Amino acid sequence: MSDDVMYASVVPCSRRDAPLRHEPVPRPVPGPDEVLVRVAAASLDRVDTYIRHGTHGMAATEPQILGRDMAGVVSAVGAGVREFRVGDEVIALGRQTHAQYALAPGLHTMPKPPQWSFAEAAALPTAGRTAYDAVVNIARVRPGERVLVVAAGGAVGSFALQFGAHLRAEVYATAGTEDKCATARAHGAHAAVNHYSPDMVEQVLAASGGAKMDVIVDPVGGALYESLLRLLARNGRIVTCGVTAGARASLHLGRLMTQGWHIHGIGRPDRHEVAAHLRGCLDLMLAAGAKPIVDRVFPLSEAPDAHRYLEESSFFGRVVLTPEPARPPR
């Protein structure tokens, strides 16, 4: 294979049965403010499955390489990049990262902590910076506050759980299985309950001694939202940072008015805000002595299996892909 070609995981178009293809594609060339990274690991996100299936308002209308988060070694830099050199180990929020090489803005690239594996580092960017913005910037969690992290086994939830614990909040969690609840408790949750239980609200209140939550971090949405509001204290804050269970929910405006709730969306930060969130997230993880939680690692050529595993929702933390030496497509 020539130096200007690489292997990537490509979705041909969005449809329910669209097969991912492991195939050769042109190697990208960095623009003036970009870095080219030889990818050592790239995390898999729910968004990748949405694009593949054409759901949640996302679709691939032509062959597309998926992925945004990666860690690896700088292979080339654009003329305007001064912070990084060829050979540097980095974390980056880029594009089309499910490949042997991928591009990222220099602004969204950071040095990889030497104590982290490439897989751990690749788990950080999108989910970590989203959780950081929700917990630190928007909810402004303070020590001693009661914080409920919904779907703590998910990508955003696993970071929000760690951040809340480090900020000395009293963290509660929900997850979809008892095994995930146990893992949440092992990572700092005061208590964890199954959010599929019909008495989920009562179980949370029993665990908290009847006290409601000062902050709720919700990456799920959908029908669960109404139950979450039953757990929100007067003047409490709820931050929506995902709609994996659906984008529609019912809200009683009279309760909103009388309870003084603060309802927030995660928003769409500009590129400089994203850079600040990335660096804040990394700094907070290092201050906590924590690492991103990686559930399982798949070879890039086995991306279809990784997608199926993600869609089964049995993971806790991040699912990661690792490119291997070039091989013929299967």
In the chain, pLDDT over 90 holds for what percent of residues?
82
Mean pLDDT value across the chain: 93
pLDDT score, position 327: 44
The whole-number average pLDDT for the span 41-56 is 90
179 pLDDT higher than 50: yes
pLDDT at 63: 87
Per-residue pLDDT tens over the stretch 209-228: 999 999 999 999 988 999 99
230, pLDDT greater than 50: yes
Q: Partners of 90 in the beta sheet?
A: 72, 111
Rounded mean pLDDT, 149-174: 97
Once rounded to an integer, what is the mean pLDDT over residues 156-183? 97
21: β partners:
10
Domains and CATH numbers, the chain: 5-124+292-322 (3.90.180.10), 127-265 (3.40.50.720)
pLDDT tens digits, residue range 289-327?
999 999 999 999 999 999 999 999 999 999 999 997 544
Return d(Cα 150, Cα 219) in angstroms, integer. 7
Take residue 314 and report the two structure tokens written for it.
Answer: 């049995």
Length of the chain: 330
Q: Is the pLDDT of residue 329 over 60?
A: no
Cα 321 to Cα 240: distance, rounded to the nearest angstrom: 27
Give the pLDDT band (50/70/90) at residue 134. very high
Residue 157, pLDDT > 60, answer: yes
In 3D space, the residue among 191, 233, 230 whose CA is nearest the CA of residue 213 turns out to be 233
pLDDT at 3 over 70: no
Taking residues 232-249, report their average pLDDT.
92
The number of beta carbons lying within 10 Å of the beta carbon of residue 325 is 7
Q: Give me 60's structure tokens.
A: 């691939």
| pLDDT score for 2 | 57
List of long-range contacts for 306-311, beta carbons under 8 Å, 24+ apart: 306/44, 307/20, 307/44, 307/48, 307/49, 307/52, 310/44, 310/46, 310/49, 311/49
With 70 as the cut, is the pLDDT of residue 328 above it? no
The per-residue pLDDT for 325 is 56
Q: Is the pLDDT of residue 70 over 60?
A: yes
Task: Locate 206 and state its tokens.
Answer: 């029993």
Band the pLDDT of 330: cuts 50, 70, 90: very low
Considering the entire predicted model, what is its pTM?
0.93
